[in-house]
């Protein structure tokens, strides 16, 4: 996590970090066989006395965190854990103290030395950082395992709250943030489909009214399935929805989450959903067909596990509080039993001639000069392309025109469409371009 250089922590916290740093320095000296200096001990005693008062005062910055009813030792621990981030020098000393480790976070073993814990304090430490212990349950520290040599880390959100730092971006593990934004008017869809997308948002905006006020059955999600051929705007529609909500969009790569190791997939999905639960974010699972198509056809052991993964994924998606968008290119292969579990199923059609004309108008760069012979309605009728094809061809035509130092004309478009179609066709004939073929330069044929 990056620390803003201008972060100025409140004075009491500065004293906390100073104390931890001093403790760490003293421990380092004693590991090297040297006595701590007298003035270090003196300063430590001073700090200890002041901090005791400050921690108990109404103004204690620790009160920003859920620390009520924790034993005093818990604040000592928190200060020592957080100091590795708030004062990076401390992190370096921790690393040195745990020689041979690349770790800048303290382990319980180190913390108990640093804070000079006796046996009963050590037991208390173990209790606080157990899976159901207060520090973990309240999400104050993150623990990987309950080994004495597994590092304790500050939970970024709590650290940010304590320090008044901007909230860290919480990317759920296994997901990738999609930064693209897009507005409704950029989306070219039949009116009823656009309407369905807006209705999907109602499930998010009016949950309180319908569930809390009117007693509607609470369900997870909402979950939408977008189906349709590649390039028809399924992913783009997810961007539009996230933009409209003002929420970040995260794309989940299922292929990456589905592990060849049995049981790992559940674990990976579990981590993802735990991190995303109840957060204001849109999760998008792209091309889920691989997971959903084979249900019921158990031919070999591998398939059986794939089926377990499917049920687990669907169960997790259903109970997840927050919008999920699944996309697939193969509607027909999706089990009807699946579709019934979604709040909304939207089919994305290939655009008709009118929609294609609309797409061509948008996809040619806005300020590009257009030749007089450029006939968009003709072009739209001539070749049955998807929005994705038109986006690529429109841009390629612009580069061709720029290379020719001319306005975009029909020959540029014809070449660009030819190139676009050639991407997924081995054998391409001019007739595939329909009447647009007349504009292909001789040299290409």
Ligand X SMILES: Nc1ncnc2c1ncn2[C@@H]1O[C@H](COP(=O)(O)OP(=O)(O)O)[C@@H](O)[C@H]1O
List interacting residues with Mg ion (CB under 5 A): 234-235
338 or 360: CB nearest ligand X: 360
Binders in 344-383 for ligand X, by CB under 6 A: 348
Residue 87 binds which entry of ligand X, Mg ion, none, CB below 5-8 Å type-dependent: none
387 binds, among Mg ion, ligand X, none (CB under 5 to 8 A by kind): ligand X
- What are φ and ψ of residue 253, in 5° steps? -90, 100
Closest contact distance (angstroms) between CB of 189 and ligand X is 5
- Residue 412 has phi, psi (to 5 degrees) of -60, -45
Got the DSSP string for 154-199?
E-HHHHHHHHTPPPPP-PPTTEEEE-----GGG----HHHHHHHHH
Pick from 423, 349, 336: nearest CA to 386: 349
Residue number with CB closer to Mg ion (153 or 234) = 234
| Closest CB 74 distance from ligand X, rounded Å | 49
Q: Which value, to the nearest 10 degrees, does the dihedral of the CA atoms of residues 399, 402, 403, 404 take?
A: 130
How many Cβ atoms are within 10 Å of 229's Cβ, its own excluded?
14
Residue 234 binds ligand X, judged by CB under 6 A: yes
Q: Give the HSE-up count for residue 1: Cα atoms under 13 Å, Cβ half-sphere.
A: 25
Q: Which of 24, 141, 188, 254 binds ligand X (CB under 6 A)?
A: 188
Is 103:36 a contact under the CB 8 Å cutoff? Answer: no
Beta carbon of residue 268, minimum distance to ligand X (angstroms, whole number): 23
Total count of residues recorded for the chain: 445
Q: Which does 236 bind (CB under 5 to 8 A by kind): Mg ion, ligand X, none?
A: ligand X
Own/partner long-range contacts of 341-345 (Cβ < 8 Å, ≥24 apart): 341/223, 341/314, 342/221, 342/223, 342/224, 342/225, 343/200, 343/203, 343/219, 343/221, 343/222, 343/223, 343/224, 344/196, 344/199, 344/200, 344/203, 344/222, 344/223, 344/224, 344/225, 345/224, 345/225, 345/227
Answer yes or no whether residue 316 interacts with ligand X by CB under 6 A: no
Binding test (CB under 6 A) with ligand X, winner from 17, 62, 236, 285? 236
d(CA 121, CA 90): 23
Q: Considering the complex, what minimum distance in angstroms separates the CB of residue 170 from ligand X?
A: 25
325 is an interface residue for ligand X by CB under 6 A: no
Residue 391 interacts with ligand X (CB under 6 A)? yes
Which of Mg ion, ligand X, none does 91 bind, CB closer than 5 to 8 A by kind? Answer: none
In contact, 351 and 387? CB cutoff 8 Å: yes
Shortest Å distance, C-beta 289 to ligand X: 12
Residues 6+ apart with CB under 8 A from 337: 295
Q: Which stretch binds ligand X (CB under 6 A): 153-161, 316-324, 385-393, 436-444?
A: 385-393
Cβ count within 10 A of residue 384: 14
What is the enclosing helix (H) or strand (E) of 55?
helix 38-56
- Decide whether 153 or 234 has the Cβ nearer to ligand X: 234
Q: Which residue is closest to Mg ion by CB?
A: 235
| Contact with ligand X (CB under 6 A) among 95, 103, 230, 279 | 230
CB of 284 to ligand X, least distance (A): 10
Dump the DSSP string for 238-296. Answer: HHHHHHHHT--EEEE-HHHHS-SSTTHHHHHHHHHHHHHTT-S-EEEE--THHHHTTTT
DSSP, res 153 = E
Is 387 one of the binding residues for ligand X (CB under 6 A)?
yes
Q: Choose between 233 and 322: whose C-beta lies nearer to ligand X.
A: 233
- Interacting stretch for ligand X, rule CB under 6 A, among 131-139, 232-240, 242-250, 377-385? 232-240
- Provide the minimum distance between the beta carbon of 197 and ligand X in the complex, in angstroms, as a whole number: 11
Q: Which of ligand X, Mg ion, none interacts with 200 (beta carbon under 5 to 8 A by kind)?
A: none
Question: Considering the rule CB under 6 A, would residue 187 count as an interface residue with ligand X?
Answer: yes
Stretch that binds ligand X, among 21-29, 102-110, 226-234, 290-298 (CB under 6 A): 226-234
Total residues contacting ligand X by CB under 6 A comes to 16
Return the DSSP state at 366: T
Q: 67 or 326: whose CB is closer to ligand X?
A: 326
Residue of 112, 227, 232, 328 interacting with ligand X (CB under 6 A):
232
Does residue 388 touch ligand X according to CB under 6 A?
A: yes
Q: Which is nearer to ligand X, 105 or 348 (CB)?
A: 348
Question: Cis before residue 222, ω within 30 degrees of 0?
Answer: yes
- For the chain, report the end-to-end CA distance as a whole number of angstroms: 56
Q: CB atoms < 10 A from the CB of 286, how many? A: 18
Nearer to ligand X, 258 or 390 (CB): 390
> Shortest gap between Cβ of 111 and ligand X (angstroms)?
49
CB of 390 to ligand X, least distance (A): 7
Q: Footprint of ligand X on this chain (CB under 6 A)?
A: 186-189, 230-236, 327, 348, 387-388, 391
């Amino acid at each position: 996590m990056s620390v803003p250089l201008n972060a100025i922590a409140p004075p009491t916290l500065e004293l906390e970090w100073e104390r931890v740093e001093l403790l760490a320095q003293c421990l380092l000296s004693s590991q090297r066989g040297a006595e701590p200096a007298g003035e270090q001990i003196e300063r430590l005693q001073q700090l200890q006395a002041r901090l005791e008062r400050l921690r108990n005062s109404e103004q204690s910055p620790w009160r920003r965190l859920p620390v009520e009813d924790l034993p005093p030792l818990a604040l000592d621990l928190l200060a020592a854990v957080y100091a590795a981030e708030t004062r990076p020098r401390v992190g370096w000393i921790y690393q040195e103290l745990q020689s041979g480790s690349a770790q800048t976070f303290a382990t319980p073993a180190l913390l108990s030395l640093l804070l000079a814990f006796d046996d009963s304090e050590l037991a208390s430490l173990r209790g606080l950082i157990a899976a159901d212990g207060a520090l973990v349950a309240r999400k104050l520290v993150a623990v990987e395992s309950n080994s004495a040599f597994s590092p304790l880390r500050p939970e970024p959100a709590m650290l940010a709250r304590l320090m008044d730092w901007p909230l860290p971006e919480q990317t759920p593990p296994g997901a990738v943030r999609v930064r693209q934004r897009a507005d409704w008017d950029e989306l070219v869809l039949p009116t009823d489909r656009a309407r369905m997308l807006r209705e999907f948002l109602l499930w998010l905006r009016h949950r309180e009214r319908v569930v809390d006020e009117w007693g509607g059955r609470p369900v997870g999600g909402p979950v939408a399935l977008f189906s349709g051929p590649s390039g028809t705007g399924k992913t783009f529609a997810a961007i539009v929805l996230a933009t409209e909500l003002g929420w970040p969009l995260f794309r989940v790569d299922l292929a990456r989450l589905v592990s060849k190791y049995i049981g790992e997939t559940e674990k990976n999905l579990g981590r993802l959903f735990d991190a995303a639960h109840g957060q204001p974010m849109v999760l998008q699972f792209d091309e889920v067909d691989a997971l959903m198509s084979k249900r019921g056809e158990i031919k070999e052991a591998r398939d059986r596990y794939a089926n377990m993964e499917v049920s687990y994924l669907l169960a997790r998606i259903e109970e997840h509080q927050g919008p999920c968008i699944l996309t697939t290119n193969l509607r027909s292969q999706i089990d009807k039993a699946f579709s019934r579990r979604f709040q909304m199923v939207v089919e994305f059609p290939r655009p008709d001639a009118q929609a294609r004309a609309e797409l061509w108008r948008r996809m040619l760069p806005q300020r590009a000069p257009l030749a007089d012979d450029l006939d968009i309605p003709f072009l739209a009728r001539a070749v049955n392309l998807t929005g994705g094809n038109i986006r690529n061809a429109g841009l390629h035509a612009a580069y061709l025109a720029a290379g020719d130092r001319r306005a975009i004309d029909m020959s540029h478009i014809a070449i660009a469409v030819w190139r676009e179609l050639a991407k997924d066709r081995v054998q391409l004939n001019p007739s595939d371009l329909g009447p647009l073929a007349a504009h292909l330069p001789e040299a290409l044929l």
